[in-house]
Chains A and B, each alone.
Chain A
Amino acid sequence: MNKPGTYRLLAQNGHGTSRLMEEKSMTSLSYLQVSPDQQVVSVALESAREAAARGLGAAHGFLRDPLNQAEVECALRIRAVENALYDLFGQGKLHGTIHTCIGQEFSGAILSKHLRPDDFVTSNHRCHGHFIGATADWRGLIDEVVGNEDGVCAGIGSSQHLWATNFMSNGQQGGLLPVAAGIALDRKMKNERNVVVSFIGEGTLGEGVLYETLNLDALWDLPHVIICENNFYSQSTVQERGVSGVIADRARSFSITSETVDTWDLPTFDAVLGAAMELAREESRPAFLTLKTYRLNPHSKSDDTRDRKEVDWFRDHDPATLAIRYYEHFESKYKEFEAEAAEAIRTALGKNPLQSNSYFFNQLPPTNRFDSIPWTPLATPPAEDLRVAQQLNAFYKGWLAEDESAFFLGEDIADPYGGAFKVARDLTNTFPDRVRTTPISEAGITGVGIGLAVSGRRAFVEIMFGDFITYAFDQIINNASKIFHMYNQKLECPVIVRTPMGGRRGYGPTHSQSLERFLIGIDNCCTLSLNSLAAVSVQLAALDQLRCPVILLENKSDYAARTFSPPKGFAIKSDGSLLPTLRIHPEYVPSTVTLLAYGGMARFVADALIEIFERTDALPEMIVPTSICPFSLGSIVESVKRTKHLVVIEEGSGFGSVGAEIVAQLNECPELSFTVRRISAKGTPIPSAPTLEAAVLPSINDVCAAVMSLMEQNP
């Protein structure tokens, strides 16, 4: 059973079960035992003890085999670096925290044997071993953790947020899993037999996004190997408290090949990992490995509540410790590595940190501030003008045709249905590989889009209703938004998450919202709000120039509308910036009030301009930004300077909204004096019944009342 060498997996599709290492099913808390001095002992740990005891001989066999020398030395290198960093942390010379993988080094070391160029590895907070195994850049790691500019991310990310061309780690549990699936999808499309390996802990088994990823891996046959390092303690929580059922069975339920191995029986682990990588590489199929292991150090430092005797027992069975203890060659190698690590740390401490001014560059599009605005008239829309949904369809179709690496994902978008609002009509027929209908997994598909984007592709991810973008917040805020800066500007994430906002259709509270205010001000993210006042091609003309993540908000009511034509006497112009701000104004008569609106409200107000004029005796001009974060302040200033009256109208709640930000920035402008009213939805969920819905959302009555009160206050 414990022979080194090649090993053929018994199970293919997961319906059969591998009986190699079956765990006891521990589901009841009554199995928890409390030791005399009140430390909780994991009973699941028994299986680890068994494995360690059983694997002792195999471990020695592995250590003795000269073919494995490189892997053992890799493990020792990891240990030397980890110990050095741990000591440094103890001396108080590290800013932040570290999570050492002492005792788990072989997972990274054996991985290094099976990785090929263009494979990719994702990991979590305890990633040093994986990083050194994947990249061998232990010096860069030391610099990074110490925090100088030579670090792999120049000290920006430190221990948990590392990047290399074949490696990525991030701090939130499971967050990178769908990203890894996206990278796996990219590798699959490239058809060069690459594999993506993701490391998680047993604690990650609580996060839903893991299961979304397993589902996607299985549905799309992605070359994704997920290794769950089960060290039986999630920080201080024993496994029984956080994990129900059998770990390996989870993947099996998705029909994914699932095996259980450990870091004591190293030959078996080596063979099984090799087989899993082979499966992924040659047959493009996912695999899930449960890797029993044990960390000898605390979770980070001084947060170890485990029994000392237990820890010591595992240390005596730890292969790396055995290597140093019993093998002279490895002992001297280890001493060498220790000295090198110490030297590297000494040097690292003397190096400079990154200059902060180079850190603050971002990828957001330029916006005008106080220059004079070259307002240019828009061309009148053609007679057989398409509805906005059809224009969007044509735009995305054109994009996918021109960019043959671009992807388009969305729920229920397969033809003939073409998506809930038909924006994706005919795309799956035309581009069957790159346009994919997905399960209902907003976090999962956004992560996949991010994974595709960091692999160099454009990825459009459709969230069916704007209300559901809440599922994808972690992917947007902790992955997409951070990638560029966290990894020291070495990596771009040009993902476009698109979704329709807006009510007035009676869809009710969770299908009618305008959530713009939760999607603005996200680091390095550009938020666009499309309207129906100008053609889609005009508003999105510069989309391909944006390399930052884009949140593209469409509008349900506008989907059915055709491009706006201004009423006689009004002209519509664009300010000519990358993401245009539109202006609708009386052509020959100066206006006396500025109405600022975006998204669906822009058309709602624009259709009522004459009525607003007649009722209020004030002559309005509209300013409509298409980019709401960042927005072109200059175009707004130019109008407000002239009229001195501003009414901001938005369909979402007004507290901390786009409108609030605009008014705040206007107030920071020197020598700009104006009076302002803000109109927004009432602070309650949007009801379905039509009169109630109309009462919650802004109305033209509200606009007229605001304009008249403004003119009264400040004629």
Chain B
Amino acid sequence: MSRSVWKGPFVDGYLLKKADESQKSGRKEVIKIWSRRSTILPQFVGLTFGVYNGRKFIPVLVTESMVGHKFGEFSPTRTFLGHAADRRAKRA
């Protein structure tokens, strides 16, 4: 059964504080966080977090479609280095 609605989404308190500070300052910065378990909230859209995967910080640029997911989903702990072949990267 999923988490009860009355409880609300879980977010670590320190992360909310850091995100608020970053939004108020208006600086472009990457907020380094360790809380992979926190839910991505709508107020995080547009911010870039560096989510720790146990070795390094993976940059996560939050978009609307990511709201409701956990930060850890976008920062894999095991990396497979595939072949480049004809793969493309798009600069956002």
Q: Do the two shown chains form a genuine complex with each other?
A: no
Q: Footprint of B on A, CB under 8 Å?
A: none
Q: Footprint of A on B, CB under 8 Å?
A: none
